[in-house]
Amino acid sequence: MASGSEECSGAATIRDVARRAGVSATTVSRSLRGISYVAPETRDRIARAAAELDYAIPGYLPRPQLIGVVARYPSQWFFAESIATIERTLRGTGHDLVLYGVGDEEGRRNFLERIAASSFLDGIIIVATSFDETERAALDRLGVPVGVVGGYAPGLPRVGIDDENAMRMATQHLLGLGHREIGLISFAPGDTVGYDTTWTRRQGYTVAMDDASAPVPSQWIISRESTVRGGVRAAEELLTLSRLPTALVAMSDEMALGALWTLRRAGIVVPDAMSIIGFDDNEMAIGSDLTTIHQPVHEQAERATLGLLARLRGDDGEDEDINLPTRLVVRGSTGPCRG
């Protein structure tokens, strides 16, 4: 019985963990101490074996595998849905999600300080956020795989949509209904963090209008923050003009809904007196009968996450820039031009 303490007490040793995981005791030690590289799949197997045997290296805390998720406005639709999808996709892979909001200067500085001061992130997913050269260099120095959901990030694997094409489709829907006087409710281009998306969507609108030889008076392009309130304000400004367009394209459903309510309150009947089309196809668009462009947010976030996990396993197959299809969803807020 003197040597039987292992059998009697059931307390597992590092050798038991090694046996169960099919690796050497040295590998178990390296993995659980987190002090040198062990392939993620092996690390998972060892962590599972250690958990099953209730084994911990005395005095050591396990080191989690962490994926940093960087998002401008974590509570706004595209960001919130992406974050929720990334969290779901990471379940069971042994990775946890660490969130960084970078919609303001303080948040950006905090994120850059966190990644500069420490290297506890195993990978990073950027949600629709642009970085300047200095910030990009800091990311590159980290030396961990990075994936991108939406927006634009030259040189990084990205899953997004073709914003120009989507916005052209929205504008052409209105042109097809006979509208030629079409205004644009735009994100604010001065908002540099979202500059690329704003610019690319503007381009889609402009190209469609040019193709149809429809002129665009500059006062019909109104830029505001990308929120319901921004849409309310854009529509209020529009209503001060002596001549109104007959239709509006908005860069988000939130802005479109803000504009829709403002028009209704002003007694302008939608779509009889004014058509309006949004962008995103969020839950509110369905409820409020808003014609819009559907973009597959969950698929973008899921594919970007799976791609990152593949790269963490050493598989380079998903190292691409992918655009998923968008589509026009016609509901009740757009109709023929009665001008």
What are the angstrom distances between the C-alpha of 38 and each of 22, 32, 229? 14, 10, 50
Question: Shortest Cβ distance from residue 199 to a second copy (Å)?
Answer: 25
Q: What is the DSSP string of 185-226?
A: EEE-TT-GGGHHHHHHHHHHHHHHHHHTT----GGGEEEE-S
Question: Shortest Cβ distance from residue 134 to a second copy (Å)?
Answer: 18
DSSP strand pairing (182-187 vs 65-71): unpaired
d(CA 135, CA 109): 9
Question: Shortest Cβ distance from residue 298 to a second copy (Å)?
Answer: 10
Examine residue 261 and tell whether it contacts a second copy (CB under 8 A).
Answer: yes
* Contacts (CB under 8 A) with a second copy, residues 40-99: 47-48, 51, 59-64, 66, 73-75, 77, 80-81, 83-84, 87-88, 91-92, 96-99
Examine residue 294 and tell whether it contacts a second copy (CB under 8 A).
Answer: no
* Contacts (CB under 8 A) with a second copy, residues 312-331: none
* Contacts (CB under 8 A) with a second copy, residues 189-248: 227-229, 231-232
Query: Binding-site residue total for a second copy (CB under 8 A)?
Result: 56
d(CA 215, CA 188): 21
Contact pick of 42, 110, 206, 219 for a second copy (by CB under 8 A): 110
Phi, psi of 191, deg, nearest 5: -70, 85
What are the angstrom distances between the C-alpha of 93 and each of 18, 66, 164? 20, 11, 35
Of 68 and 183, the one with the shorter C-beta distance to a second copy is 68
- Are the CB atoms for 276 and 263 separated by under 8 Å? yes
Residues that bind a second copy (CB under 8 A): 34-36, 47-48, 51, 59-64, 66, 73-75, 77, 80-81, 83-84, 87-88, 91-92, 96-101, 106-107, 110, 114, 116-120, 227-229, 231-232, 254, 257-258, 261, 265, 283-284, 286-289
